[in-house]
Structure 1
């Protein structure tokens, strides 16, 4: 009963800001993964490049270069998954130990806000980090599937199964990359969620900044122009 009373201290704008972050994560992800043909995202452009990579892979001999790329991709997902684990552990340690939270509350606000409110706010950060961890782990596993499928491609480029298997590997590679990008977006939004500790207005502002950052990198960045052949 007391916890419900404490949670009632969260304002209408707190609820709006939290809903805004969650909706933005899903809607922005959908826009990136399903962009209009007239304005493809970096993710969509790279998906086509991944298919082209695996088409070239069929005729490449030897294929050591490709195995090195796959190893690098898996190392990247493993690194970010480990980073998420450490971050989640730190957030949960802060949630479990209320003494540091009291110090944070005293520094940030002059109001006597119950610890449970700070724990709820940090819980949203932990939720986004956990989602990122699961995406990275799944991406790592799919990259593993892709590696096995690439190994199953016959060395003879004229073999009837060579190109079909390579294209299957390409689709697995794309799915792994999509999940990797989802994990990165979760980490970005988790950082934005930390602003909720200051208040709902900074939280909304930080979420908007994260949206702009991700959108600009996908739709208005220099790497995107380079990928489209628009050199500076």
Structure 2
């Protein structure tokens, strides 16, 4: 059955899959290693996270910082829970592909083997599972950050106060990076759903998701606001 799978996929399917993974890895590389002259929002926010921890050292009381970190952890927890629900629904659909086959017949898409339907669903679940793992790890890293923040001395003049704050900032940045990777995986999972409509649907979904992701990182109103603020501070 497994050996017959490549024969069930057309050249168009394979090319659409190649485009999907190329776009996924390409977006990650461009966003995480954006050029200095055109930084992404994710790159710009790293400076704010470092500034946050430096301000945290001098803030008293520090309740505000704890509330912010709690909200970040709640966000990662929400997305992880949503991914678990999506994984459960996808696994249930793999067990019974008849609804998808019925829709395909109504759309005159022809008879598609059940194995191909399962592979298409597994592609979506692969992205969702990746997102789940990233959200869980991000949640844990934010927890580590909270502990490191609690270890920062109350006295700003303490010799290890700023060094511990910088270490907490670095862990916070890693947590945010994993959260962003998880979000991109969710975006591309939505794009991969287009494959259920055929290779053209996958190409369209990939292009739309890629354009949306790059726009939010490089051409959004929030990015312009951040750049204005950083420009005013120089």
Give the alignment's TM-score, normalised by structure 2: 0.95
Report how many residues are paired. Answer: 230
Structure 1: gaps (5+ residues): none
Residue 23 (structure 1) aligns with: 22
Residue 151 (structure 1) aligns with: 150
Residue 76 (structure 1) aligns with: 75
Structure 2: gaps (5+ residues): none
Residue 200 (structure 1) aligns with: 199
Contact map agreement 1:195 1:203 (CA 8 A) in 2:
yes
Residue 123 (structure 1) aligns with: 122
> Which string of whole-angstrom CA distances, capped at 9 and with x for unpartnered residues, describes residues 60-88 of structure 1?
00000000000000000000000011111
Closer/same/farther in 2, CA of residues 113 and 53 from structure 1, 3 Å limit: same
Deviation of residue 170 (structure 1)? 0.3
Contact map agreement 1:124 1:193 (CA 8 A) in 2:
yes
Deviation of residue 3 (structure 1)? 4.4
Q: Residues of 2 paired with 1:73 and 1:66: CA distance?
A: 11
Secondary structure of residue in 1 paired with 2:4? helix
Contact map agreement 1:146 1:172 (CA 8 A) in 2:
yes
Contact map agreement 2:120 2:195 (CA 8 A) in 1:
yes
Deviation of residue 229 (structure 1)? 1.1
Deviation of residue 101 (structure 1)? 2.9
Residue 114 (structure 1) aligns with: 113
Residue 36 (structure 1) aligns with: 35
Q: Residues of 2 paired with 1:42 and 1:227: CA distance?
A: 8
Q: Residues of 2 paired with 1:164 and 1:5: CA distance?
A: 58
Residue 140 (structure 2) aligns with: 141
Contact map agreement 1:135 1:180 (CA 8 A) in 2:
yes
Q: Runs (4+) of structure 1 moved beyond 4 Å?
A: none
Q: Residues of 1 paired with 2:152 and 2:182: CA distance?
A: 29
Deviation of residue 130 (structure 1)? 0.3
Q: Residues of 1 paired with 2:143 and 2:107: CA distance?
A: 45
Secondary structure of residue in 2 paired with 1:4? coil
What RMSD in Å do the two structures reach over aligned CA positions? 1.4
Contact map agreement 2:134 2:182 (CA 8 A) in 1:
yes
Deviation of residue 99 (structure 1)? 2.6
Closer/same/farther in 2, CA of residues 98 and 199 from structure 1, 3 Å limit: closer
Secondary structure of residue in 2 paired with 1:176? helix
Contact map agreement 2:101 2:111 (CA 8 A) in 1:
no
Residue 191 (structure 1) aligns with: 190
> Which string of whole-angstrom CA distances, capped at 9 and with x for unpartnered residues, describes residues 150-169 of structure 1?
00000000001100000000
- The within-5 A match list for 1:193-232 is 193-229=192-228
Q: Residues of 1 paired with 2:6 and 2:95: CA distance?
A: 17
- The within-5 A match list for 1:47-126 is 47-126=46-125
Closer/same/farther in 2, CA of residues 76 and 105 from structure 1, 3 Å limit: same
Stretch moving more, 17-26 or 47-56: 17-26
